[in-house]
Chains A and B, each alone.
Chain A
Amino acid sequence: KNQVEQSPQSLIILEGKNCTLQCNYTVSPFSNLRWYKQDTGRGPVSLTIMTFSENTKSNGRYTATLDADTKQSSLHITASQLSDSASYICVVSAGGGNKLTFGTGTQLKVEL
């Protein structure tokens, strides 16, 4: 069964600090992996997409990594801001890319 597990479930950090969120998956055959940011009470919005051949991709202060051999991805947030407080969801697509498996998310809170 395709699964996506994220850790930690929740995280509290101080403003300005860095943090790393983890995503492990057992989806096969792998097509791509996306990280989404979900603000409270809103729908998730895509941050990055990683395909099989990509190891690292950055989007501003967000950097995603992918290790297709170990089936792990991470999302690193640099110099965190209060506005980074949100739920971060890892989504992996299989086969031709049309079947998605969602992680349950990591709830990040950035405090002063």
Chain B
Amino acid sequence: AQSVTQLDSHVSVSEGTPVLLRCNYSSSYSPSLFWYVQHPNKGLQLLLKYTSAATLVKGINGFEAEFKKSETSFHLTKPSAHMSDAAEYFCVVSDQDSSASKIIFGSGTRLSIRP
């Protein structure tokens, strides 16, 4: 069975400092993993995805994530936070070998940026 756990419901960092949003997953199959960002009253935008290619995935807006199978983790990082990064972030896991309905959302992490 699949599951995804976002370890922090809220992360607050100062502008210009690194960002780390943590995500752990479990999957019976070879997982695809995604990070989405949601700004207030908006839909979700894909930041990056892992689909069994390179384990270090680079996404938009300077974000990247590393797939670590041994740790079952897919943490999202950014070297230097910007005010515009303040949003809700969702880690998502899906099975590559099953239908798209087996997509599981994490509970979300709210990222706040201090000036």
- Real complex partners, A and B? no
Residues of B within 8 A of A (CB): none
Residues of A within 8 A of B (CB): none
